[in-house]
C-alpha cells in the first residue's frame, strides 16, 4: 500500500515509494487535492483512490500521452539550443587552444562545451525514458539519476575560471602577488563539488535511491548560489578598482563585468527555486513537470550563454581616442616591460571594440611564476 505521507508536498520527496519513473505521474484527479493546505482531505482521497496499490501502480498518468507534440517540441528546442552552445564553445576553443596566454579561456570553453554536450545526451536519454512503454527502464533511470546534477558542477568550473580571471586583474591593479589557483578556497570548493558528484554517481549505481538524488541536487543548487554570490563580490571589487584606475566614458562598458556576475547569480537562484518546486511538487504531476523541465533548460542555456559572452576574446585595436590612466601609469608609458598579464582580462565581458588600448598591451602574456597575477 502506498504510504499516506505521499500526499503531503512536505514529506513525499523523503519517501522512495512515492517516486514515479521518468515520464509517469500521479493521477490528475488526485493531484487537484494534494496541495499542502488540504492535507486531511487529500489523505482521505489518497486512500480511496489508491488503496491497495503498490509501487508504480499509483503512477498511471503517462506524460507522453498528455504532452504529445509539446514534449517533442521541448526536446527539439532544447537539443538545438545546447547543440548551438556546444558548437560555439568548440569554435572558440579552437581559436584559443594554442594560445598560451588564454589558458583560463581554454578551460572555460572546455567546461561549457562539456556541460552543453552532457545536456544534449541527457535530454535524448530522457526522451527515451518518457516515450518508452509503461514498464520502467532501469539503466535509463540510473543514468538520468546520476547525470542530473553533472551540469551544475561543470558550470561551476566554468565560472571559477572567470572569477580567477577577475581576481588576477585585481591583483594586477593593486600591484600585489596573486596566489596560485590551486591554493585558493574557491578552487577547493569546486573540487569538493566534483568529488561529491563522483561519490553521488557511485552510490546511485548501487542504491538507485531518488531521495538521495533530490538531496544531492538541492545541495548543488545551494552551493552554486553561494558561489555565484561570491563572484558578485569579486566583480564589484574589480569594477571599483577599474573605475578608479581608468577615467573617461569608456568605463561604462566595464559595468558588463558586474552585470555578468549579477546575471549568473540571479539565474542560479532561479535554479534553486525550481529545484525545490520540482522536488516537492512538479516532478509528481504531468504538466508542472514539463514546465519545470523547460524552465530549467532555458536557465541552463542562459547560464552558459552569459559565461561564453563574458569569456569571449575581444577584438582590441589601437586607440583612436586617448584614454587617461590615473596614478603613476599613463598611456605614454605603456610598453612590454609592464607586468605580464594580458589586458584582455580587464576587458572581459565588455562590448566588442568599446575599449581600445595600445597593441603592446594585447601582446603581453603571462609567462609564469614571475607575473604578479
CA distances from 153 to 72, 159, 218 (A): 27, 10, 13
The verdict on residue 345 lying in a domain is no
The whole-number pLDDT of residue 111 equals: 94
Domain that holds residue 142: 64-311
Collect all residues with Cβ–Cβ distance below 8 Å to 372 and sequence separation of at least 6. 171, 172, 175, 176, 177, 178, 339, 341
Clarify whether residues 27 and 102 are in a common domain.
Answer: no
Whether residue 270 sits in one domain with residue 231: yes
Q: Identify the domain boundary among 59, 89, 106.
A: 59
**Cα(192)–Cα(190) distance, rounded to whole angstroms?**
5
Ramachandran bin of 6, using left for φ above 0, alpha for ψ from -120 to 50, beta for the remaining angles: alpha
- Choosing from 20, 41, 59, the residue where a domain stops is 59
Rg (CA), the chain: 25
214 and 193 in a common domain? yes
Q: Is residue 182 part of a domain?
A: yes
Copy the grid coordinates of residue 248: 573617461
Is 236 found in the same domain as 213? yes
Domain membership of residue 363 (yes or no) is no
Same domain as 266, residue 120: yes
pLDDT score of 8:
74
Q: Name the DSSP letter for residue 250.
A: G
Residues 32, 146 share a domain: no
Does residue 144 lie in a domain region? Answer: yes
pLDDT at 139: 81
Q: What pLDDT does 77 receive?
A: 97
Q: Which of 261, 277, 311 is the last residue of a domain?
A: 311
pLDDT at 319: 35
Q: What is the pLDDT of residue 13?
A: 78
Q: Is 91 among the domain residues?
A: yes
Q: How far apart are CA 372 and CA 165, in angstroms?
A: 13
Find the CATH number of the domain harbouring 198: 1.20.1070.10
Residue 201 lies in a domain: yes
In a structure prediction context, what are the per-residue pLDDT tens digits for the chain, which is 373 residues long?
Answer: 444 567 777 777 777 778 888 888 887 644 444 444 444 444 444 444 444 444 445 788 888 999 989 999 999 999 999 999 999 999 988 887 766 556 888 889 999 999 999 999 999 999 998 988 766 677 888 888 888 888 989 999 999 888 888 888 888 888 888 777 778 888 888 898 899 888 888 887 777 777 788 888 888 888 888 888 888 888 888 888 877 766 555 555 567 777 888 898 899 889 989 988 888 888 889 999 999 999 999 999 999 999 988 876 433 333 333 333 333 333 333 333 333 334 343 444 333 333 333 232 233 333 344 444 4
In a domain, 351, yes or no: no
Q: What is the pLDDT of residue 291?
A: 95
Question: Number of folded domains in the chain?
Answer: 2
96 and 245 in one domain? yes
Please check whether residues 181 and 289 belong to one and the same domain: yes
The predicted structure's pLDDT at residue 372: 42
The distance in angstroms from the start CA to the end CA of the chain is 63
Q: What is the pLDDT of residue 219?
A: 86
150 in the same domain as 107: yes
* Residue 334 domain-assigned (yes or no): no
Same domain, 44 and 93: no
Same domain, 145 and 239: yes
What is the reported pLDDT for 344?
Answer: 42
> How many C-beta atoms lie closer than 10 Å to residue 239's C-beta?
19
Same domain, 72 and 106: yes
Distances (CA, A) of 254 to 96, 260, 325, 345: 23, 10, 15, 11
Amino acid at each position: 500500500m502506498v504510504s499516506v505521507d505521499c500526499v503531503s508536498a512536505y514529506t513525499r520527496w523523503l519517501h522512495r515509494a512515492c517516486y514515479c519513473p521518468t515520464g509517469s505521474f500521479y493521477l490528475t484527479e488526485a493531484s487537484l487535492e494534494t496541495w499542502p493546505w488540504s492535507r486531511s482531505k487529500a489523505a482521505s482521497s489518497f486512500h480511496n483512490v489508491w488503496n491497495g496499490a503498490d509501487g508504480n501502480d499509483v503512477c498511471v498518468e503517462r506524460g507522453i500521452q498528455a504532452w504529445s507534440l509539446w514534449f517533442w517540441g521541448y526536446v527539439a528546442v532544447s537539443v538545438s539550443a545546447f547543440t548551438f552552445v556546444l558548437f560555439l564553445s568548440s569554435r572558440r576553443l579552437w581559436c584559443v587552444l594554442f594560445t598560451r596566454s588564454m589558458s583560463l579561456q581554454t578551460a572555460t570553453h572546455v567546461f561549457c562545451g562539456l556541460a552543453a554536450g552532457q545536456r544534449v545526451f541527457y535530454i535524448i536519454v530522457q526522451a527515451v525514458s518518457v516515450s518508452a512503454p509503461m514498464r520502467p527502464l532501469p539503466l535509463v533511470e540510473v543514468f538520468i539519476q546520476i547525470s542530473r546534477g553533472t551540469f551544475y558542477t561543470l558550470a561551476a568550473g566554468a565560472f571559477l575560471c572567470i572569477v580567477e580571471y577577475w581576481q588576477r586583474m585585481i591583483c594586477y591593479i593593486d600591484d600585489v602577488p596573486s596566489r596560485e589557483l590551486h591554493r585558493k578556497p574557491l578552487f577547493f570548493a569546486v573540487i569538493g563539488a566534483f568529488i561529491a558528484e563522483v561519490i553521488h554517481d557511485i552510490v546511485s549505481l548501487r542504491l538507485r535511491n531518488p531521495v538521495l538524488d533530490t538531496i544531492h541536487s538541492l545541495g548543488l543548487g545551494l552551493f552554486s548560489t553561494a558561489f555565484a554570490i561570491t563572484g558578485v563580490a569579486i566583480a564589484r571589487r574589480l569594477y571599483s578598482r577599474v573605475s578608479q584606475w581608468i577615467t573617461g566614458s569608456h568605463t561604462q562598458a566595464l559595468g558588463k563585468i558586474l552585470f555578468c556576475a549579477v546575471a549568473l547569480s540571479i539565474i542560479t537562484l532561479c535554479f534553486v527555486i525550481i529545484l525545490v518546486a520540482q522536488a516537492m511538487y512538479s516532478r509528481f504531476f504531468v504538466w508542472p513537470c514539463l514546465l519545470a523541465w523547460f524552465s530549467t533548460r532555458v536557465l541552463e542555456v542562459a547560464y552558459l550563454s552569459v559565461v561564453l559572452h563574458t569569456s569571449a576574446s575581444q577584438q582590441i585595436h589601437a586607440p583612436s581616442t586617448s584614454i587617461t590612466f590615473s596614478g603613476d601609469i599613463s598611456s605614454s608609458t605603456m610598453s612590454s616591460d609592464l607586468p605580464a598579464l594580458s589586458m584582455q582580462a580587464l576587458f572581459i565581458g565588455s562590448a566588442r571594440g568599446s575599449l581600445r588600448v595600445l597593441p603592446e598591451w594585447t601582446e603581453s602574456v603571462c609567462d609564469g611564476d614571475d607575473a604578479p597575477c
